[in-house]
Chain A
């Protein structure tokens, strides 16, 4: 079974600085998808960024980018120019591809709470 590990329960960053949240996963599958979701205090889950494992190029979305290291099974999220609105819980998630025989599941890590200091 796939597992997702976020080793940093809490992180903090100064406004305008850069922070990197780590995520590692365990899988025997060769192709899959990876996601970062944000959960602000409103509790709403918001997709931040996603990566297809067969693509070597790291995904970017404005101030958010990932460092995807497939061999190391690592998928870290970098937030540049941090803003107060970035304060939230961040969840890393792994999703199998059903047509490869994997069951349809989206597995989440336990989350990292990010605090942004003014």
Chain B
């Protein structure tokens, strides 16, 4: 099992460019999440999905869009990147809600110049 796979692992963008981060899980999990991690800020939820075709906003959704067209994939899009979006992005998945643990990807380091 690969678990949760994020691509790419590193990316450098110029301000105004767009990109999509891909998260893929092979565990048939219903719930998927996108977090960003910044120094001193912990992990903050951007968007999440509780099933195929559904998405919901988290704590810091502005400037990001997501799609969950297939159960195993959760895409995070930046339409017009800004330096404030420089961060490490983590995808996570969970079988269900509640006591089930989250499985995390290894993160994507994004720098916006």
Contacts and interface: CB of A to CB of B under 8 A. Distances in A.
A33 B58 contact: no
- In this complex, the member of A35, A37, A45, A91 whose beta carbon has the largest number of chain B beta carbons within 10 angstroms is A45
B102 A105 contact: no
A43 B106 contact: yes
Interface stretch (A14-22, A73-81, A106-114): A106-114
A50 B94 CA distance: 14
Interface in B1-42: 31, 33, 35, 40-42
Interface of A: 6, 9, 33, 35, 37, 42-45, 47, 50, 52, 91, 95, 97-98, 103-111
A45 B99 contact: no
Contact of A44 (B40, B41, B59, B104): B104
A35 B42 contact: no
Interface residues of B, number: 25
A47 to B, nearest CB: 4
A62 to B, nearest CB: 16
Given A95-B98, A97-B97, A108 B43 contact: yes
Nearest to A32: B98
Nearest to A4: B42
Given A9-B40, A43-B106, A111-B42, A106 B33 contact: yes
A44 B50 CA distance: 23
Contact of A43 (B41, B58, B88, B99): B88
